[in-house]
Amino acid sequence: MRFSVPGPRSLAGQLFAMQAVLIAVVVAGYALFTYVSDRSQAEEAARRQARAVARSVADSPSVLEAARTSDPTAELQPYALKVMRDTEVDFITIMNPRGIRWTHPDPAQIGQPFRGHTAKALKGETFDETYTGTLGPSVRAVTPIQDGKKIVGLVSAGIRVEEITQRVQDQLTALLGVAAGALALGAVGTYVINARLRRHTHGMNASELSRMHDYHQAALHAVREGLLMLDGQYRVALINDGGRELLGVTGDVVGRSVAELGLPVPLTGALLASEPRVDEVHLTASRVLVINTSPVSGGERRGTVVTLRDVTELQSLMGELDSERGFTQALRSQAHEAANRLHTVVSLIELGRAEEAVGFATAELELAQALTDQVVAAVSEPVLAALLLGKTAQANERGVELMVSEDSSLDDGLLPESLPPRDLVTILGNLIDNAVDAAQGSVRARVTVTAYTQDTEDPEALDDAPELVLRVSDTGPGVDPEHAEAVFQRGFSTKPARPGGRGLGLALVRQAVQRHEGTLSVSEADGGGAQFEVRLPLRETEAVAEGVTSGASVPSGAGGDA
pLDDT of residue 415: 73
For the range 371-380, what are the long-range contacts, defined as Cβ-Cβ under 8 Å and sequence gap of 24 or more?
374/404, 375/404, 378/404, 378/405, 378/406, 378/408, 378/409, 378/410, 378/451, 379/404, 379/408, 379/410, 379/451, 380/410, 380/411, 380/412
Distance of alpha carbon 465 from alpha carbon 458, whole angstroms: 11
Residues 165-199 have pLDDT tens digits of: 776 777 777 777 877 787 778 778 777 877 777 77
Average pLDDT, the chain: 76
Q: How far is CA 14 from CA 21, 69, 187, 191, 306, in A?
A: 11, 79, 13, 11, 35
Question: Pick from 52, 151, 51, 159: which is nearest to 105 by CA?
Answer: 159
**∠18-22-25 over CA atoms, to 5°?**
140
Give φ, ψ of 560 to 5 degrees: -75, 70
pLDDT of residue 437: 86
For the range 369-377, what are the long-range contacts, defined as Cβ-Cβ under 8 Å and sequence gap of 24 or more?
374/404, 375/404
Strand locations in 79-179 (E): 91-95, 127-133, 136-147, 150-160
pLDDT of residue 201: 72
* Whether 429 contacts 468, CB under 8 Å: no
Indicate the Cα dihedral angle 367, 369, 373, 375, nearest 10°.
70
What are the strands of the beta sheet with 401-404, ordered from one edge? 401-404, 446-455, 466-474, 530-537, 519-524
Distance of alpha carbon 535 from alpha carbon 516, whole angstroms: 10
pLDDT of residue 111: 87
Give the SS3 label for residue 297: strand
Which residues, 6+ apart, have CB-to-CB distance to 327 below 8 Å?
Answer: 390
Integer-rounded Cα radius of gyration of the chain = 54
**pTM summary value:** 0.47
Distance of alpha carbon 69 from alpha carbon 102, whole angstroms: 12
Distance of alpha carbon 422 from alpha carbon 315, whole angstroms: 13
Residues in the chain with pLDDT values less than 50:
1, 3, 5, 7, 491, 496-502, 541-562
Give the SS3 label for residue 158: strand
pLDDT of residue 154: 92
Indicate the Cα dihedral angle 64, 68, 73, 74, nearest 10°.
-100
pLDDT of residue 200: 75
Residues 132-146 have pLDDT tens digits of: 877 778 888 999 988
Q: What is the 3-state secondary structure (H, E, C) of 387-419?
A: HHHHHHHHHHHCCCEEEECCCCEECCCCCCCCC
* Whether 433 contacts 557, CB under 8 Å: yes
Q: How many helices (H) and strands (E) does the chain have?
A: 14, 14
